[in-house]
Copies of this chain bind each other. A is one copy, B any other.
Amino acid sequence: MDREGLNASLGAVSAQQTPAPKAHRIIMDSNKVVENIYLLVIVTLVSVLQNAFFAQKVERECKNHNTRTSAFERVSCANRNCMDAYPTFLAVMWCAGLCLSQAPAAFAGIIYLVVRQKYFVGYLGQTSQSTPGYLFGKRVITFLSLMCVIGIANYLLVRFYGSDYKEYVETITNAATALLLIP
């Protein structure tokens, strides 16, 4: 009976340790990666769709007016300003999502895309005097940069002092995201 109990216990132990089949484990690993970034990927996809929309506007304007008209100049300039800022936005959003948490970063990313859409449409307005400036979405980029800084500060705190405020920080960040909606 001693022996049987032992075997049963060991069986339980080894059952706990039996690794899953390899293919299954790889899928699990891969899904763990996707779990942490899928919202960021969705926002990236939406931004790519928006880029394609902008590019098609330029393409159409370019074909309609072979000469360099004012409309073409405006579309082209708006597209270029958006494209200039695009790598910066992507880099900051992904860093913020990886360092702190992905939900607020993705939400801020969506707001940035809305601001960019407004900027692009506003640039195509009738009078050339009303064109908005070169910069846009400063607030969102600042917010995402702050998220990165907080995430790194939290990591360094954990590493050197062992304290961890990450959960509180994430709660505060989630709340702060709502402030971005205020115009």
Which chain A residues have a beta carbon within 8 Å of chain B's beta carbons?
2-3, 5-6, 9-10, 13-14, 16-17, 23, 27, 30-31, 33-38, 41-42, 44-45, 47-49, 51-52, 55-56, 58-59, 62-63, 79-80, 83-88, 90-92, 95, 98-99, 133-135, 138, 141, 145, 148-149, 151-152, 155-156, 158-159, 164, 166-167
Contact = CB atoms under 8 A, between A and B. Distances in A.
B34 A155 contact: yes
Given A31-B155, A164-B27, A45 B133 contact: no
Given A6-B9, A45-B145, 7 more contacts: A10-B10, A23-B167, A44-B95, A52-B138, A55-B85, A86-B87, A87-B87
A54 to B, nearest CB: 10
